[in-house]
Structure 1
Amino acid sequence: MDDGLVLIIGHYDHKNKNNGGEKALGVHWGDYPQSRGILSPCVIPAATRSAILSGLLHQAVTNGNLQQVSSITKAIEFFRD
């Protein structure tokens, strides 16, 4: 999380059409975005997801933040399986 930005990894099943969904990265910050008053994270496309995770990993390594390195590495591994 950075300045209220939260990344979420998990399975996303748009309108319950994919029997459990596909692995996805979601993003939200604070109480945005919402749909009908319910927090609704934005789902990030795969190519953008890779760029975001790569950039965050580089930043965490550069800053020496081992906790962030571990969290981001776990997210990258989630999408490799």
Structure 2
Amino acid sequence: MKMISYWKHIEVIHEDDGLVLIVGWYDHKNENDGGEKSLGVHWGTYPQSRGVLSPCVIPAVTSNAILSGLLHKAVVDNNIVLREKIINAIDFLKH
């Protein structure tokens, strides 16, 4: 499914039973000169706007909490792939 143009250069960092977390540049209505680094979420093909996938932007404080929890889970589960994706997402969002 096509993703709304407000999201640019996205990377899927985690999928869990239909929930998909992405990082990328979010530029609301393409009015903010490229946008801001953001964490987003969608569930398969939801939410949509006029038949186009439109992931929700997660606020910074909540993003930090989600990524912190996922990093903890990756370390406890010894999931090296997830750990690297989460560390890369954290680095991306803070720089």
TM-score, normalised to structure 2, is 0.81
User: Size of the alignment, in residue pairs?
Assistant: 81
More strand by proportion, 1 or 2?
A: 2
Unaligned runs of 5+ in 1: none
Q: Percent identity?
A: 67
RMSD, aligned CA: 0.8
Unaligned runs of 5+ in 2: 1-14
* Cα distance per residue 1:40-62 (max 9 Å; x no partner): 00000111100000011111111
> What pairs with 1:65-76 in structure 2 (closer than 5 Å)?
65-76=79-90
More helix by proportion, 1 or 2?
A: 1
1:2 aligned residue (5, 12, 16): 16
User: Does 2:31 match 1:17?
Assistant: yes
TM-score, normalised to structure 1, is 0.95
After the TM superposition, which parts of structure 1 deviate over 3 Å for at least 4 consecutive aligned residues? Answer: none
